[in-house]
C-alpha cells in the first residue's frame, strides 16, 4: 500500500515531510530524487517504508522486495505461525531436550546469535526463552487474571537462555530443555528493519527508512537533510511528544507499556516480562535507545526496561555508539528522566517550535 501522508501508530513518529502524490508524479523534476512512502500490516503491527528514488517504478519494485523480505522473515521467526522455522525448532523439545543440534537458516542463526549475546550482556534480563511466559501473559490479557501458581511454576521451569546451545562452526542450535518456546518479539522488528534497509541499499537506494511502531532503521537522510528526525511519545501523556532524536545510518527503538499491557485487579502489567518473577513489569518505564544497528537498539530498549534505569545505563555505556533515554513514572505520576552519556548528541529541539523553521533543523 502506498500512502501520501500518515502518522505512525505507537511510540515513535517520523517528522520527515510527507510527499504529496502530485509532487511524486511531477515530471518536471524527473532528475531529482523523490520520496515515496509505503505502509503495510506485517508481523502484527504496521511496517512503513520511505524510499527516495529518481524513478517511481524503481521505488515501487524496491518496496515490493522489502515486503517479500519481511514476509519471509515472518515465516521464519514468528512464534504465532505454527510452522515457522522457529516453532519447528521448539517442537523438537516436545518430548524432551534435543539430543542433537540442528542446522538453522541464516536469519534464524543471526537473530538467535544476537539474542544470546543480548542475554549475556544483560545478565539474562533479555531472554528469548521467555516464550512460555509470554504465552501465559497473552492469556492474562484476555482473561484479566494472573496465571495460577502451578502454571507459572511450570513455565518458569522451562526458561533459561543457557539452555540454548549455539555452534558457530555449523550454524546449528540445540535446545537443552524439554518444552522450550522461543519468542524473538523483543528483537525481531529491529532486526527486520535493519535487514530491509540493507536490502534497499543493495539495490542502490540509500536514502531509506524502514520501521514498525517503536523500532526503526534508517539509512541516509532525505536529500537536503542532515539526519532523519524522529519524535518520541511521552510516557505520561502518549498524545504528546516528549523528545526529538536525529540519526542517520542508525537504529532507534522505544519500549514501553503504553499500548500493550494487561490491567489485572487494577494493576498494570507490561508485555515485557521480568524473567526473574515470570510476570509482566509493573513499574512504569519508557526507554528509547539508539545504536549503530537497529537490532541492538531493539533488544537494548527491552533489556533496559527490565533492568531499570541504573543498571540499564551501565549496560548501554558498554555498547559501541549506543545511547539511551529512560523515563520512569512513579505511583504519584512523577516522571524521572535519565540519559546515558552519548544521548545528548542525538537529541534535538522540538522542530515545530524551534527557529527559524522546521525544515532547517537537523
Ligand atoms: P519490545 O516491544 O521490543 O520491548 O519487546 C517486547 C516483546 O518482547 C514482548 O511482546 C515479548 O514478545 C518479548 N519479551 C518480553 N519480555 C522479554 C524479555 N525479558 N526478554 C526478551 N524478550 C521479551
Ligand atoms: Mg525491543
Taking the centre of ligand 1 as the mean of its atom positions, its distance from the CA of residue 269, in whole angstroms, is: 13
One digit per residue, the tens of pLDDT, for the chain of length 362 reads 554 333 343 455 554 433 322 233 333 343 589 999 999 999 999 999 999 999 999 999 999 999 999 999 999 999 999 999 999 999 999 999 999 999 999 999 999 999 999 999 999 999 999 999 999 999 988 898 999 999 999 999 999 999 999 999 999 999 999 999 999 999 999 999 999 999 999 999 999 999 998 899 999 999 999 999 998 888 878 778 778 999 999 999 999 776 667 788 888 888 999 999 999 999 889 999 999 999 999 999 999 999 999 999 999 999 999 999 999 988 888 999 999 999 999 999 877 655 433 332 22
The residue whose CB lies within 8 Å of the most ligand 1 atoms, and thus the one to mutate among 77, 272, 276, 306, is 272
Question: How much is the pTM?
Answer: 0.91
What pLDDT is recorded for position 14?
53
What pLDDT is recorded for position 213?
84
The residue with cell 534464524 is 108
Indicate which residue's Cα is closest to atom 5 of ligand 1.
186
**CA distance linking residue 148 with residue 129, whole number of Å:** 20
Taking the centre of ligand 2 as the mean of its atom positions, its distance from the CA of residue 31, in whole angstroms, is: 39
**Atom from ligand 1 closest to the CA of residue 256:** 4
Please report, in angstroms and rounded to a whole number, the separation of the first and last CA atoms in the chain. Answer: 29
What pLDDT is recorded for position 212?
92
> For 273, which DSSP code?
B
The residue with cell 512513579 is 330
**Residues lining ligand 1, CB < 6 A?**
126-128, 130, 134, 183, 185-186, 214, 255, 271-273, 275, 298, 301-302, 306
**Atom from ligand 1 closest to the CA of residue 274:** 19
Provide the residue range defining the domain that includes 271.
1-362
Taking the centre of ligand 1 as the mean of its atom positions, its distance from the CA of residue 129, in whole angstroms, is: 10
**Atom from ligand 1 closest to the CA of residue 305:** 4
What CATH number does the domain containing 359 carry?
Answer: 3.10.520.10
**CA distance linking residue 277 with residue 30, whole number of Å:** 58
**CA distance linking residue 246 with residue 244, whole number of Å:** 7
Q: Are 218 and 197 in contact (CB under 8 A)?
A: yes
What pLDDT is recorded for position 265?
83
What pLDDT is recorded for position 6?
34
What pLDDT is recorded for position 333?
85
Q: What's the longest Cα–Cα distance across the chain?
A: 69
Taking the centre of ligand 1 as the mean of its atom positions, its distance from the CA of residue 273, in whole angstroms, is: 7
**CA distance linking residue 340 with residue 314, whole number of Å:** 8
What pLDDT is recorded for position 258?
67
Q: How many domains does the chain have?
A: 1
The residue with cell 524432551 is 96
Residues written for the chain: 362
The answer for residues whose C-beta is within 8 angstroms of residue 70's C-beta and 6 or more apart is: 42, 43, 47, 192, 196
Amino acid at each position: 500500500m502506498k500512502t501520501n501522508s500518515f502518522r505512525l501508530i505507537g511510540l515513535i513518529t517520523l517528522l520527515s515531510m510527507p510527499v504529496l502524490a502530485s509532487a511524486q508524479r511531477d515530471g518536471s523534476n524527473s532528475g531529482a530524487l523523490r520520496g515515496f512512502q509505503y505502509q503495510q500490516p506485517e508481523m502484527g503491527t504496521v511496517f512503513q517504508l520511505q524510499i527516495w528514488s529518481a524513478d517511481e517504478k524503481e521505488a515501487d519494485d524496491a518496496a515490493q522486495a522489502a515486503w517479500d523480505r519481511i514476509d519471509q522473515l515472518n515465516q521464519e521467526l514468528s512464534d504465532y505461525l505454527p510452522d515457522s522455522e522457529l516453532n519447528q525448532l521448539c517442537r523438537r523439545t516436545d518430548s524432551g531436550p534435543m539430543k542433537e543440534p540442528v542446522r538453522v537458516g541464516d536469519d534464524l542463526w543471526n537473530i538467535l546469535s544476537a539474542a544470546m549475546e543480548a542475554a549475556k550482556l544483560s545478565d539474562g534480563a533479555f531472554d528469548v526463552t521467555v516464550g512460555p511466559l509470554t504465552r501465559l501473559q497473552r492469556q492474562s490479557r484476555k482473561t484479566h487474571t494472573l496465571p495460577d501458581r502451578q502454571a507459572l511454576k511450570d513455565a518458569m521451569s522451562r526458561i533459561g537462555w543457557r539452555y540454548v546451545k549455539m555452534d558457530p562452526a555449523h550454524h546449528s542450535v540445540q535446545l537443552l530443555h524439554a518444552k522450550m518456546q522461543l519468542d524473538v518479539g523483543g528483537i525481531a522488528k529491529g532486526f527486520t528493519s535493519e535487514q530491509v534497509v540493507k536490502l534497499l541499499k543493495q539495490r542502490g537506494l540509500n536514502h531509506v527508512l524502514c520501521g514498525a511502531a517503536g523500532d526503526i532503521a534508517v539509512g541516509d537522510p532525505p536529500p537536503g537533510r542532515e539526519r532523519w528526525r524522529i519524535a518520541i511519545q511521552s510516557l505520561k501523556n502518549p498524545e504528546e511528544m516528549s523528545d526529538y532524536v536525529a540519526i542517520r545510518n542508525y537504529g532507534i527503538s522505544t519500549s514501553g507499556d503504553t499500548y500493550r499491557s494487561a490491567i489485572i485487579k487494577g494493576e498494570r502489567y507490561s508485555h515485557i516480562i521480568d524473567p526473574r518473577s515470570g510476570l509482566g513489569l509493573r513499574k512504569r518505564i519508557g526507554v528509547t535507545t539508539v545504536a549503530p544497528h537497529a537490532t541492538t537498539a531493539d533488544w537494548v530498549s527491552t533489556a533496559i526496561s527490565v533492568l531499570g534505569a541504573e543498571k540499564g545505563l551501565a549496560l548501554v555505556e558498554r555498547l559501541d555508539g549506543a545511547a539511551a533515554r529512560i523515563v520512569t513514572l512513579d505511583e504519584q505520576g512523577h516522571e524521572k528522566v535519565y540519559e546515558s552519556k552519548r544521548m545528548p548528541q542525538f537529541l534535538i529541539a522540538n522542530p515545530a517550535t524551534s527557529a527559524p523553521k522546521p525544515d532547517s533543523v537537523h
